[in-house]
Structure 1
Amino acid sequence: MTAADIATTTTREGSVAERLLASSATLSYDPSVEVDWDSPLDPGHHGASPEWSTLYGTPYWQELSESQRAELTRQESASVACTGIWFEIILQQMMLRDMYTADRTSPEFQWALTEIADECRHSIMFARGAAKLNAPAYLPKRRVVELGRLFKTIAWGETAYAAILVAEEVLDVMQRDWMRDELVAPFVRTINNIHVVEESRHMKFARDEVVKRMQGAGPLRRQATALLVAASAYHIVTSMVSDRAYAEAGLDVARAKREAAGNEHYKSMLRSSCRGLMEFLHSAGLLTGPASAIYRKANLL
Protein backbone atom coordinates (compact mmCIF):
# COMPACT_ATOMS: atom_id res chain seq x y z
CA MET A 1 0.00 0.00 0.00
CA THR A 2 1.40 3.39 -1.01
CA ALA A 3 1.43 6.50 1.13
CA ALA A 4 -1.45 7.94 -0.92
CA ASP A 5 -3.48 4.75 -0.44
CA ILE A 6 -3.02 4.96 3.34
CA ALA A 7 -4.18 8.56 3.41
CA THR A 8 -7.25 7.77 1.27
CA THR A 9 -8.19 4.74 3.37
CA THR A 10 -7.85 6.75 6.58
CA THR A 11 -10.19 9.45 5.31
CA ARG A 12 -12.76 6.94 4.10
CA GLU A 13 -12.88 4.69 7.16
CA GLY A 14 -12.21 7.12 9.99
CA SER A 15 -8.96 7.76 11.79
CA VAL A 16 -6.41 5.00 12.13
CA ALA A 17 -6.19 5.72 15.85
CA GLU A 18 -9.93 5.13 16.32
CA ARG A 19 -9.76 1.75 14.61
CA LEU A 20 -6.65 0.73 16.53
CA LEU A 21 -8.23 1.63 19.85
CA ALA A 22 -11.19 -0.61 18.99
CA SER A 23 -8.84 -3.42 17.94
CA SER A 24 -6.82 -3.08 21.14
CA ALA A 25 -9.97 -3.32 23.24
CA THR A 26 -10.88 -6.53 21.41
CA LEU A 27 -7.50 -8.29 21.21
CA SER A 28 -4.72 -7.58 23.69
CA TYR A 29 -2.68 -9.87 25.92
CA ASP A 30 -1.40 -9.95 29.47
CA PRO A 31 2.03 -11.63 29.20
CA SER A 32 2.10 -12.40 32.92
CA VAL A 33 -0.86 -14.72 32.34
CA GLU A 34 -0.46 -15.83 28.71
CA VAL A 35 3.19 -16.93 28.89
CA ASP A 36 4.07 -20.15 30.73
CA TRP A 37 6.77 -18.75 32.97
CA ASP A 38 6.88 -21.71 35.35
CA SER A 39 7.77 -24.62 33.08
CA PRO A 40 11.49 -25.53 33.09
CA LEU A 41 13.59 -24.63 30.08
CA ASP A 42 14.22 -27.67 27.87
CA PRO A 43 17.91 -27.49 26.82
CA GLY A 44 16.95 -29.08 23.51
CA HIS A 45 14.77 -26.14 22.54
CA HIS A 46 16.05 -23.27 20.44
CA GLY A 47 15.49 -19.62 21.29
CA ALA A 48 14.96 -18.70 17.64
CA SER A 49 14.52 -20.48 14.33
CA PRO A 50 17.96 -21.85 13.45
CA GLU A 51 17.71 -20.25 9.99
CA TRP A 52 17.75 -16.86 11.70
CA SER A 53 21.01 -17.48 13.53
CA THR A 54 23.80 -15.16 12.46
CA LEU A 55 25.99 -18.23 11.94
CA TYR A 56 23.49 -20.48 10.14
CA GLY A 57 25.03 -21.97 7.01
CA THR A 58 28.61 -21.02 7.90
CA PRO A 59 31.45 -23.53 8.35
CA TYR A 60 31.38 -22.75 12.08
CA TRP A 61 27.68 -23.69 12.26
CA GLN A 62 28.42 -27.01 10.61
CA GLU A 63 30.96 -27.80 13.33
CA LEU A 64 28.56 -27.13 16.20
CA SER A 65 26.61 -29.90 17.91
CA GLU A 66 22.85 -29.62 18.05
CA SER A 67 23.02 -28.63 21.73
CA GLN A 68 25.56 -25.89 20.91
CA ARG A 69 23.32 -24.61 18.11
CA ALA A 70 20.33 -24.50 20.46
CA GLU A 71 22.33 -22.61 23.09
CA LEU A 72 23.55 -20.15 20.47
CA THR A 73 20.03 -19.38 19.24
CA ARG A 74 18.85 -18.96 22.84
CA GLN A 75 21.56 -16.39 23.49
CA GLU A 76 20.88 -14.65 20.16
CA SER A 77 17.15 -14.54 20.91
CA ALA A 78 17.82 -13.03 24.34
CA SER A 79 20.14 -10.45 22.78
CA VAL A 80 17.45 -9.46 20.26
CA ALA A 81 14.95 -9.17 23.13
CA CYS A 82 17.30 -6.95 25.15
CA THR A 83 17.95 -4.73 22.12
CA GLY A 84 14.17 -4.54 21.74
CA ILE A 85 13.86 -3.31 25.32
CA TRP A 86 16.52 -0.66 24.69
CA PHE A 87 14.68 0.70 21.67
CA GLU A 88 11.21 0.39 23.23
CA ILE A 89 12.41 2.64 26.07
CA ILE A 90 13.62 5.15 23.46
CA LEU A 91 10.36 5.12 21.53
CA GLN A 92 8.26 5.51 24.68
CA GLN A 93 10.15 8.70 25.50
CA MET A 94 9.75 10.01 21.96
CA MET A 95 6.00 9.34 21.94
CA LEU A 96 5.47 10.92 25.34
CA ARG A 97 7.30 14.04 24.19
CA ASP A 98 5.30 14.09 20.95
CA MET A 99 2.02 13.92 22.89
CA TYR A 100 3.06 16.41 25.59
CA THR A 101 0.70 19.15 24.41
CA ALA A 102 -1.58 17.08 22.15
CA ASP A 103 -5.37 17.23 22.38
CA ARG A 104 -6.19 14.97 25.34
CA THR A 105 -9.61 14.16 23.88
CA SER A 106 -8.28 12.99 20.50
CA PRO A 107 -8.09 9.31 19.48
CA GLU A 108 -4.44 9.88 18.54
CA PHE A 109 -3.53 10.94 22.08
CA GLN A 110 -5.45 8.02 23.59
CA TRP A 111 -3.89 5.57 21.15
CA ALA A 112 -0.38 6.88 21.88
CA LEU A 113 -0.84 6.15 25.59
CA THR A 114 -2.28 2.73 24.74
CA GLU A 115 0.78 1.98 22.63
CA ILE A 116 3.12 3.13 25.41
CA ALA A 117 1.30 0.81 27.82
CA ASP A 118 1.77 -2.04 25.34
CA GLU A 119 5.48 -1.27 25.09
CA CYS A 120 5.86 -1.30 28.88
CA ARG A 121 4.32 -4.78 29.01
CA HIS A 122 6.48 -5.92 26.11
CA SER A 123 9.66 -4.72 27.80
CA ILE A 124 8.80 -6.61 30.98
CA MET A 125 7.93 -9.67 28.89
CA PHE A 126 11.23 -9.53 27.00
CA ALA A 127 13.17 -9.05 30.24
CA ARG A 128 11.55 -12.10 31.83
CA GLY A 129 12.08 -14.07 28.63
CA ALA A 130 15.79 -13.26 28.51
CA ALA A 131 16.15 -14.28 32.15
CA LYS A 132 14.34 -17.57 31.48
CA LEU A 133 16.77 -18.22 28.61
CA ASN A 134 19.60 -17.94 31.16
CA ALA A 135 21.05 -14.93 29.39
CA PRO A 136 22.78 -11.83 30.77
CA ALA A 137 21.42 -8.30 30.45
CA TYR A 138 22.66 -7.56 26.93
CA LEU A 139 23.09 -3.92 25.90
CA PRO A 140 24.30 -2.33 22.66
CA LYS A 141 27.84 -0.99 22.63
CA ARG A 142 28.38 2.15 24.73
CA ARG A 143 28.69 4.35 21.63
CA VAL A 144 25.31 3.14 20.36
CA VAL A 145 23.69 3.63 23.76
CA GLU A 146 24.88 7.25 23.81
CA LEU A 147 23.74 7.81 20.22
CA GLY A 148 20.35 6.51 21.32
CA ARG A 149 20.25 9.17 24.03
CA LEU A 150 20.95 11.83 21.40
CA PHE A 151 18.45 10.43 18.91
CA LYS A 152 15.54 10.34 21.35
CA THR A 153 16.31 13.96 22.25
CA ILE A 154 16.47 15.42 18.75
CA ALA A 155 14.10 13.17 16.77
CA TRP A 156 10.99 15.05 15.67
CA GLY A 157 7.57 13.71 14.66
CA GLU A 158 8.00 11.79 11.43
CA THR A 159 11.59 10.83 12.28
CA ALA A 160 10.48 9.20 15.51
CA TYR A 161 7.60 7.31 13.91
CA ALA A 162 9.64 6.19 10.91
CA ALA A 163 12.35 4.86 13.25
CA ILE A 164 9.69 3.00 15.23
CA LEU A 165 8.46 1.49 11.98
CA VAL A 166 11.93 0.40 10.89
CA ALA A 167 12.68 -1.34 14.18
CA GLU A 168 9.34 -3.11 14.40
CA GLU A 169 9.19 -4.21 10.74
CA VAL A 170 12.51 -6.05 11.00
CA LEU A 171 11.42 -7.84 14.18
CA ASP A 172 7.98 -8.62 12.77
CA VAL A 173 9.12 -10.91 9.96
CA MET A 174 11.74 -12.54 12.15
CA GLN A 175 9.31 -13.26 14.98
CA ARG A 176 6.58 -14.56 12.67
CA ASP A 177 9.01 -17.33 11.71
CA TRP A 178 9.99 -18.01 15.32
CA MET A 179 6.43 -18.25 16.64
CA ARG A 180 5.58 -21.01 14.13
CA ASP A 181 8.75 -23.06 14.56
CA GLU A 182 8.34 -26.11 16.82
CA LEU A 183 12.09 -26.16 17.43
CA VAL A 184 11.67 -22.92 19.39
CA ALA A 185 10.85 -23.09 23.11
CA PRO A 186 7.06 -22.81 23.61
CA PHE A 187 7.28 -19.79 25.92
CA VAL A 188 9.42 -17.94 23.35
CA ARG A 189 6.85 -18.74 20.67
CA THR A 190 4.11 -17.27 22.87
CA ILE A 191 6.17 -14.13 23.50
CA ASN A 192 6.70 -13.71 19.77
CA ASN A 193 3.02 -14.24 19.01
CA ILE A 194 2.01 -11.56 21.53
CA HIS A 195 4.54 -9.12 20.13
CA VAL A 196 3.55 -9.74 16.50
CA VAL A 197 -0.17 -9.24 17.17
CA GLU A 198 0.20 -6.07 19.21
CA GLU A 199 3.02 -4.53 17.18
CA SER A 200 0.97 -4.87 13.98
CA ARG A 201 -1.23 -2.09 15.40
CA HIS A 202 1.80 0.00 16.34
CA MET A 203 3.17 -0.30 12.81
CA LYS A 204 -0.14 0.81 11.27
CA PHE A 205 -0.15 3.92 13.45
CA ALA A 206 3.50 4.67 12.67
CA ARG A 207 2.90 4.41 8.92
CA ASP A 208 -0.10 6.72 9.15
CA GLU A 209 1.83 9.28 11.20
CA VAL A 210 4.76 9.25 8.76
CA VAL A 211 2.43 9.84 5.80
CA LYS A 212 0.54 12.69 7.49
CA ARG A 213 3.65 14.44 8.80
CA MET A 214 5.56 14.19 5.53
CA GLN A 215 2.80 15.89 3.54
CA GLY A 216 4.18 19.17 2.29
CA ALA A 217 7.68 18.51 3.67
CA GLY A 218 10.38 20.39 1.80
CA PRO A 219 13.44 18.73 0.27
CA LEU A 220 15.82 19.67 3.10
CA ARG A 221 13.52 18.25 5.78
CA ARG A 222 12.92 15.12 3.70
CA GLN A 223 16.65 14.53 3.24
CA ALA A 224 17.39 15.07 6.93
CA THR A 225 14.57 12.76 8.03
CA ALA A 226 15.62 10.03 5.60
CA LEU A 227 19.22 10.18 6.80
CA LEU A 228 18.34 10.09 10.51
CA VAL A 229 15.94 7.19 10.07
CA ALA A 230 18.47 5.20 8.06
CA ALA A 231 21.18 5.85 10.66
CA SER A 232 18.90 4.68 13.47
CA ALA A 233 18.01 1.57 11.45
CA TYR A 234 21.69 0.77 10.97
CA HIS A 235 22.47 0.95 14.68
CA ILE A 236 19.38 -1.03 15.67
CA VAL A 237 19.99 -3.88 13.25
CA THR A 238 23.73 -4.12 13.85
CA SER A 239 23.09 -4.19 17.62
CA MET A 240 20.53 -6.99 17.63
CA VAL A 241 23.04 -9.74 18.32
CA SER A 242 25.72 -8.78 20.80
CA ASP A 243 29.27 -10.13 20.47
CA ARG A 244 28.82 -11.31 24.04
CA ALA A 245 26.14 -13.77 22.89
CA TYR A 246 28.86 -15.84 21.20
CA ALA A 247 30.90 -15.91 24.39
CA GLU A 248 27.86 -16.90 26.47
CA ALA A 249 27.23 -19.75 24.01
CA GLY A 250 30.81 -20.95 24.53
CA LEU A 251 32.05 -20.03 21.05
CA ASP A 252 35.27 -18.47 19.80
CA VAL A 253 34.11 -14.85 19.64
CA ALA A 254 36.64 -13.67 17.07
CA ARG A 255 35.83 -16.51 14.69
CA ALA A 256 32.07 -16.18 15.24
CA LYS A 257 32.16 -12.45 14.49
CA ARG A 258 34.25 -13.02 11.37
CA GLU A 259 31.98 -15.70 9.94
CA ALA A 260 28.80 -13.83 10.91
CA ALA A 261 30.08 -10.73 9.11
CA GLY A 262 30.45 -12.73 5.90
CA ASN A 263 27.24 -14.77 6.23
CA GLU A 264 25.33 -14.15 3.00
CA HIS A 265 22.39 -16.28 4.16
CA TYR A 266 21.75 -14.02 7.16
CA LYS A 267 22.13 -10.90 5.04
CA SER A 268 19.59 -12.29 2.60
CA MET A 269 17.14 -12.98 5.45
CA LEU A 270 17.44 -9.38 6.62
CA ARG A 271 16.88 -7.97 3.12
CA SER A 272 13.86 -10.19 2.63
CA SER A 273 12.34 -9.08 5.93
CA CYS A 274 12.61 -5.43 4.88
CA ARG A 275 11.18 -5.61 1.37
CA GLY A 276 7.79 -4.16 2.34
CA LEU A 277 9.40 -1.54 4.56
CA MET A 278 11.66 -0.29 1.77
CA GLU A 279 8.67 -0.03 -0.58
CA PHE A 280 6.86 2.11 2.00
CA LEU A 281 9.87 4.36 2.65
CA HIS A 282 10.22 4.84 -1.11
CA SER A 283 6.54 5.80 -1.44
CA ALA A 284 6.93 8.26 1.45
CA GLY A 285 9.98 9.87 -0.19
CA LEU A 286 12.35 8.63 2.52
CA LEU A 287 14.49 6.27 0.46
CA THR A 288 16.97 8.88 -0.72
CA GLY A 289 20.39 8.11 -2.18
CA PRO A 290 22.37 8.66 1.04
CA ALA A 291 19.76 6.76 3.09
CA SER A 292 19.83 3.85 0.63
CA ALA A 293 23.60 3.61 1.02
CA ILE A 294 23.18 3.22 4.80
CA TYR A 295 20.46 0.59 4.38
CA ARG A 296 22.75 -1.38 2.07
CA LYS A 297 25.54 -1.20 4.62
CA ALA A 298 23.11 -2.63 7.20
CA ASN A 299 22.07 -5.36 4.71
CA LEU A 300 18.48 -4.10 4.67
CA LEU A 301 18.49 -3.21 0.97
Structure 2
Amino acid sequence: MTNPGPEGEHGMPALAGVRTIGARTFDFSRQVAVMAIVNRTPDSFYDRGSTFGFDAAVAAALAAVADGADMVDIGGAPFAPGPEISVQSEIDRVVPVLAAVRAASDVVLSVDTFQPQVARASIDAGADLINDTTGLRNPRMIDVIADSAAGVVITHSLARPRTAFARPQYADVVAEVAAFLTGRADAAIDAGIPADRILLDPGHDLNKNTLHSLELTRRFGEIAGLGYPALAAVSNKDFIGETLDRGRGDRVYGSLAAAVVAIVNGARILRMHNVAPAVEAARMTEAILGLRQPAYLRHNMGESND
Protein backbone atom coordinates (compact mmCIF):
# COMPACT_ATOMS: atom_id res chain seq x y z
CA MET A 1 0.00 0.00 0.00
CA THR A 2 1.17 3.53 -0.78
CA ASN A 3 2.62 5.30 2.23
CA PRO A 4 1.42 8.91 2.12
CA GLY A 5 4.25 10.02 4.35
CA PRO A 6 4.08 12.33 7.36
CA GLU A 7 1.09 14.50 8.02
CA GLY A 8 1.30 18.12 6.93
CA GLU A 9 -0.40 21.23 8.29
CA HIS A 10 -3.94 20.79 9.70
CA GLY A 11 -3.48 17.01 9.80
CA MET A 12 -3.65 16.54 6.04
CA PRO A 13 -1.18 14.00 4.62
CA ALA A 14 1.92 15.59 3.12
CA LEU A 15 1.11 14.55 -0.45
CA ALA A 16 -2.16 16.49 -0.17
CA GLY A 17 -0.40 19.77 0.58
CA VAL A 18 0.90 22.26 -1.97
CA ARG A 19 0.29 21.20 -5.56
CA THR A 20 0.96 23.04 -8.80
CA ILE A 21 -1.55 22.05 -11.48
CA GLY A 22 -1.12 23.84 -14.77
CA ALA A 23 -0.62 27.54 -14.12
CA ARG A 24 -2.16 27.49 -10.65
CA THR A 25 -0.86 26.45 -7.23
CA PHE A 26 -3.11 25.04 -4.51
CA ASP A 27 -2.38 24.48 -0.85
CA PHE A 28 -4.72 21.60 -0.14
CA SER A 29 -3.82 21.68 3.55
CA ARG A 30 -6.02 24.77 3.77
CA GLN A 31 -7.80 25.19 0.45
CA VAL A 32 -10.73 23.57 -1.36
CA ALA A 33 -10.82 23.83 -5.15
CA VAL A 34 -14.08 23.82 -7.09
CA MET A 35 -14.11 21.96 -10.41
CA ALA A 36 -16.89 22.98 -12.78
CA ILE A 37 -18.51 20.43 -15.10
CA VAL A 38 -19.05 21.10 -18.80
CA ASN A 39 -20.43 18.19 -20.81
CA ARG A 40 -20.29 18.35 -24.61
CA THR A 41 -22.69 15.46 -24.88
CA PRO A 42 -26.34 15.26 -25.89
CA ASP A 43 -27.16 12.73 -23.14
CA SER A 44 -25.36 13.85 -19.99
CA PHE A 45 -27.38 12.90 -16.92
CA TYR A 46 -27.80 16.43 -15.51
CA ASP A 47 -27.69 19.10 -18.22
CA ARG A 48 -29.38 16.95 -20.89
CA GLY A 49 -27.37 18.41 -23.75
CA SER A 50 -27.63 22.11 -22.85
CA THR A 51 -23.86 22.54 -23.37
CA PHE A 52 -23.53 20.16 -26.31
CA GLY A 53 -23.10 23.02 -28.78
CA PHE A 54 -19.60 24.50 -29.11
CA ASP A 55 -20.59 28.08 -28.25
CA ALA A 56 -22.71 26.95 -25.30
CA ALA A 57 -19.89 24.79 -23.94
CA VAL A 58 -17.29 27.57 -24.16
CA ALA A 59 -19.70 30.08 -22.62
CA ALA A 60 -20.51 27.70 -19.76
CA ALA A 61 -16.82 27.12 -19.04
CA LEU A 62 -16.00 30.83 -18.97
CA ALA A 63 -19.10 31.57 -16.87
CA ALA A 64 -17.89 28.97 -14.37
CA VAL A 65 -14.50 30.70 -14.22
CA ALA A 66 -16.25 34.02 -13.58
CA ASP A 67 -18.23 32.34 -10.78
CA GLY A 68 -14.99 31.28 -9.09
CA ALA A 69 -14.23 27.83 -10.46
CA ASP A 70 -10.59 26.85 -10.02
CA MET A 71 -10.87 24.01 -12.52
CA VAL A 72 -13.13 23.13 -15.44
CA ASP A 73 -13.75 19.49 -16.37
CA ILE A 74 -14.78 19.00 -20.01
CA GLY A 75 -16.32 15.74 -21.14
CA GLY A 76 -17.29 14.37 -24.53
CA ALA A 77 -18.41 10.84 -23.64
CA PRO A 78 -20.41 9.87 -20.54
CA PHE A 79 -19.42 6.88 -18.43
CA ALA A 80 -23.08 5.87 -18.08
CA PRO A 81 -24.58 3.10 -20.22
CA GLY A 82 -25.26 4.05 -23.83
CA PRO A 83 -24.01 3.68 -27.41
CA GLU A 84 -20.29 3.76 -28.02
CA ILE A 85 -18.82 7.10 -29.10
CA SER A 86 -15.91 7.01 -31.51
CA VAL A 87 -12.54 8.34 -30.42
CA GLN A 88 -12.56 10.92 -33.22
CA SER A 89 -16.02 12.15 -32.28
CA GLU A 90 -14.92 12.57 -28.69
CA ILE A 91 -11.81 14.48 -29.77
CA ASP A 92 -13.94 16.70 -32.02
CA ARG A 93 -16.23 17.48 -29.11
CA VAL A 94 -13.60 18.16 -26.47
CA VAL A 95 -10.48 19.63 -28.06
CA PRO A 96 -11.98 22.76 -29.70
CA VAL A 97 -13.67 23.74 -26.42
CA LEU A 98 -10.49 23.06 -24.51
CA ALA A 99 -8.44 25.22 -26.89
CA ALA A 100 -10.94 28.09 -26.77
CA VAL A 101 -11.08 28.15 -22.97
CA ARG A 102 -7.31 27.82 -22.70
CA ALA A 103 -6.90 30.88 -24.95
CA ALA A 104 -9.13 32.91 -22.62
CA SER A 105 -8.11 31.71 -19.14
CA ASP A 106 -5.38 30.09 -17.06
CA VAL A 107 -8.01 28.01 -15.21
CA VAL A 108 -6.98 24.40 -14.64
CA LEU A 109 -8.45 22.40 -17.51
CA SER A 110 -9.43 18.79 -16.98
CA VAL A 111 -10.73 16.36 -19.59
CA ASP A 112 -13.09 13.59 -18.55
CA THR A 113 -12.08 10.65 -20.75
CA PHE A 114 -11.12 6.99 -20.61
CA GLN A 115 -9.61 6.98 -24.12
CA PRO A 116 -5.81 7.34 -24.35
CA GLN A 117 -6.01 8.98 -27.79
CA VAL A 118 -8.42 11.60 -26.47
CA ALA A 119 -6.14 12.22 -23.51
CA ARG A 120 -3.14 12.71 -25.81
CA ALA A 121 -4.98 15.16 -28.07
CA SER A 122 -6.32 17.03 -25.04
CA ILE A 123 -2.93 17.35 -23.40
CA ASP A 124 -1.52 18.65 -26.68
CA ALA A 125 -4.31 21.27 -26.71
CA GLY A 126 -3.55 22.45 -23.17
CA ALA A 127 -5.25 20.08 -20.72
CA ASP A 128 -3.71 20.05 -17.24
CA LEU A 129 -5.58 17.01 -15.88
CA ILE A 130 -7.02 13.79 -17.26
CA ASN A 131 -10.07 12.61 -15.31
CA ASP A 132 -10.33 8.86 -15.94
CA THR A 133 -13.53 7.36 -14.57
CA THR A 134 -12.20 3.83 -15.20
CA GLY A 135 -9.31 4.25 -12.77
CA LEU A 136 -6.56 3.90 -15.43
CA ARG A 137 -7.66 0.43 -16.47
CA ASN A 138 -6.15 0.95 -19.92
CA PRO A 139 -2.34 0.72 -19.58
CA ARG A 140 -1.95 3.02 -22.58
CA MET A 141 -3.65 5.78 -20.61
CA ILE A 142 -0.97 5.48 -17.94
CA ASP A 143 1.72 5.74 -20.63
CA VAL A 144 0.14 8.85 -22.17
CA ILE A 145 -0.03 10.66 -18.84
CA ALA A 146 3.44 9.53 -17.74
CA ASP A 147 4.82 10.94 -21.01
CA SER A 148 3.43 14.42 -20.25
CA ALA A 149 3.25 17.06 -17.56
CA ALA A 150 -0.44 16.44 -16.93
CA GLY A 151 -1.93 15.21 -13.70
CA VAL A 152 -4.57 12.53 -13.34
CA VAL A 153 -7.77 11.96 -11.39
CA ILE A 154 -8.01 8.23 -10.65
CA THR A 155 -11.65 7.30 -10.09
CA HIS A 156 -13.13 4.10 -8.72
CA SER A 157 -15.60 2.19 -10.88
CA LEU A 158 -16.29 -1.45 -11.70
CA ALA A 159 -18.00 -1.58 -15.10
CA ARG A 160 -16.61 -1.04 -18.56
CA PRO A 161 -17.61 2.45 -19.77
CA ARG A 162 -21.06 2.76 -21.37
CA THR A 163 -22.16 -0.61 -19.93
CA ALA A 164 -24.57 -1.51 -17.15
CA PHE A 165 -23.48 -3.12 -13.88
CA ALA A 166 -26.49 -4.58 -12.07
CA ARG A 167 -26.73 -4.67 -8.28
CA PRO A 168 -23.17 -3.82 -7.24
CA GLN A 169 -22.18 -5.58 -4.02
CA TYR A 170 -19.47 -4.68 -1.51
CA ALA A 171 -18.56 -6.24 1.82
CA ASP A 172 -17.18 -2.83 2.88
CA VAL A 173 -17.57 -0.25 0.15
CA VAL A 174 -15.10 2.27 1.59
CA ALA A 175 -12.38 -0.30 2.28
CA GLU A 176 -12.76 -1.81 -1.19
CA VAL A 177 -12.76 1.57 -2.93
CA ALA A 178 -9.69 2.63 -0.92
CA ALA A 179 -7.86 -0.58 -1.84
CA PHE A 180 -8.68 -0.11 -5.52
CA LEU A 181 -7.49 3.51 -5.53
CA THR A 182 -4.30 2.63 -3.68
CA GLY A 183 -3.51 -0.14 -6.14
CA ARG A 184 -4.13 2.07 -9.16
CA ALA A 185 -2.06 4.91 -7.69
CA ASP A 186 0.81 2.51 -7.03
CA ALA A 187 0.59 1.22 -10.61
CA ALA A 188 0.66 4.78 -11.93
CA ILE A 189 3.74 5.63 -9.88
CA ASP A 190 5.49 2.43 -10.98
CA ALA A 191 4.80 3.43 -14.61
CA GLY A 192 6.35 6.86 -14.20
CA ILE A 193 3.54 9.20 -13.09
CA PRO A 194 4.89 11.21 -10.13
CA ALA A 195 2.89 10.89 -6.93
CA ASP A 196 2.42 14.65 -6.77
CA ARG A 197 0.40 14.53 -10.01
CA ILE A 198 -2.21 12.08 -8.71
CA LEU A 199 -5.68 12.93 -7.36
CA LEU A 200 -8.20 10.35 -6.13
CA ASP A 201 -11.99 10.16 -6.56
CA PRO A 202 -14.02 7.39 -4.86
CA GLY A 203 -16.64 7.64 -7.61
CA HIS A 204 -19.94 8.40 -5.92
CA ASP A 205 -22.76 6.55 -7.71
CA LEU A 206 -20.40 4.90 -10.21
CA ASN A 207 -21.44 1.24 -9.83
CA LYS A 208 -22.67 2.06 -6.32
CA ASN A 209 -26.16 2.34 -4.90
CA THR A 210 -27.42 5.16 -2.69
CA LEU A 211 -26.41 3.47 0.56
CA HIS A 212 -22.89 2.96 -0.80
CA SER A 213 -22.58 6.62 -1.80
CA LEU A 214 -23.91 7.84 1.54
CA GLU A 215 -21.35 5.69 3.35
CA LEU A 216 -18.54 6.97 1.12
CA THR A 217 -19.54 10.52 2.03
CA ARG A 218 -19.78 9.73 5.74
CA ARG A 219 -16.39 7.96 5.73
CA PHE A 220 -14.69 10.20 3.17
CA GLY A 221 -11.83 10.69 5.63
CA GLU A 222 -10.63 7.18 4.81
CA ILE A 223 -10.22 8.19 1.16
CA ALA A 224 -8.52 11.48 2.05
CA GLY A 225 -6.30 9.53 4.43
CA LEU A 226 -4.69 7.68 1.52
CA GLY A 227 -2.46 10.74 1.17
CA TYR A 228 -3.50 12.27 -2.14
CA PRO A 229 -5.82 15.23 -2.71
CA ALA A 230 -9.28 13.69 -2.73
CA LEU A 231 -12.04 14.77 -5.10
CA ALA A 232 -15.74 14.54 -4.24
CA ALA A 233 -18.01 14.31 -7.30
CA VAL A 234 -21.33 14.53 -5.48
CA SER A 235 -23.12 17.10 -7.62
CA ASN A 236 -26.77 16.29 -8.39
CA LYS A 237 -26.10 12.57 -8.18
CA ASP A 238 -28.86 9.98 -7.88
CA PHE A 239 -27.93 9.20 -4.27
CA ILE A 240 -29.01 12.75 -3.44
CA GLY A 241 -32.19 12.45 -5.48
CA GLU A 242 -33.16 9.15 -3.85
CA THR A 243 -32.32 10.38 -0.35
CA LEU A 244 -34.40 13.55 -0.68
CA ASP A 245 -36.94 12.40 -3.29
CA ARG A 246 -35.82 15.13 -5.69
CA GLY A 247 -35.51 15.16 -9.47
CA ARG A 248 -32.31 16.04 -11.31
CA GLY A 249 -33.13 19.74 -11.46
CA ASP A 250 -33.86 20.06 -7.75
CA ARG A 251 -30.81 18.63 -6.00
CA VAL A 252 -28.64 21.71 -5.45
CA TYR A 253 -29.22 21.97 -1.70
CA GLY A 254 -28.60 18.29 -1.16
CA SER A 255 -25.46 18.50 -3.30
CA LEU A 256 -24.13 21.36 -1.18
CA ALA A 257 -24.81 19.43 2.04
CA ALA A 258 -22.95 16.40 0.69
CA ALA A 259 -20.08 18.63 -0.47
CA VAL A 260 -19.72 20.26 2.95
CA VAL A 261 -19.66 16.88 4.73
CA ALA A 262 -17.03 15.70 2.25
CA ILE A 263 -14.89 18.79 2.91
CA VAL A 264 -15.13 18.31 6.68
CA ASN A 265 -13.92 14.75 6.10
CA GLY A 266 -10.97 15.79 3.96
CA ALA A 267 -12.18 16.40 0.39
CA ARG A 268 -10.10 19.10 -1.27
CA ILE A 269 -11.67 19.24 -4.75
CA LEU A 270 -15.41 19.47 -5.36
CA ARG A 271 -16.66 18.55 -8.84
CA MET A 272 -19.89 20.55 -9.14
CA HIS A 273 -22.45 21.69 -11.71
CA ASN A 274 -23.69 24.74 -9.76
CA VAL A 275 -20.46 26.64 -9.34
CA ALA A 276 -21.39 29.88 -7.56
CA PRO A 277 -23.15 28.25 -4.57
CA ALA A 278 -20.46 25.55 -4.41
CA VAL A 279 -17.71 28.17 -4.20
CA GLU A 280 -19.51 29.98 -1.37
CA ALA A 281 -20.11 26.71 0.48
CA ALA A 282 -16.43 25.80 0.13
CA ARG A 283 -15.19 29.21 1.31
CA MET A 284 -17.57 29.19 4.30
CA THR A 285 -16.54 25.67 5.28
CA GLU A 286 -12.85 26.62 5.03
CA ALA A 287 -13.46 29.52 7.41
CA ILE A 288 -15.42 27.38 9.89
CA LEU A 289 -12.59 24.84 9.89
CA GLY A 290 -10.05 27.61 10.53
CA LEU A 291 -8.37 27.16 7.15
CA ARG A 292 -9.00 30.74 5.96
CA GLN A 293 -9.86 34.16 7.34
CA PRO A 294 -13.17 35.94 6.67
CA ALA A 295 -13.17 38.43 3.79
CA TYR A 296 -13.48 41.23 6.35
CA LEU A 297 -14.24 41.77 10.05
CA ARG A 298 -16.62 44.49 11.21
CA HIS A 299 -19.45 43.06 13.32
CA ASN A 300 -18.77 43.74 17.05
CA MET A 301 -15.21 44.76 16.25
CA GLY A 302 -15.52 48.43 17.25
CA GLU A 303 -17.13 50.69 19.82
CA SER A 304 -20.54 50.21 18.27
CA ASN A 305 -22.33 47.23 16.81
CA ASP A 306 -22.65 47.78 13.05
TM-score, normalising length: structure 2: 0.26
Q: Which has the higher helix share?
A: 1
More strand per residue: 1 or 2? 2
Task: Identify which of structures 1 and 2 has the higher relative contact order when contacts are C-alpha pairs closer than 8 Å and 6+ apart.
Answer: 1
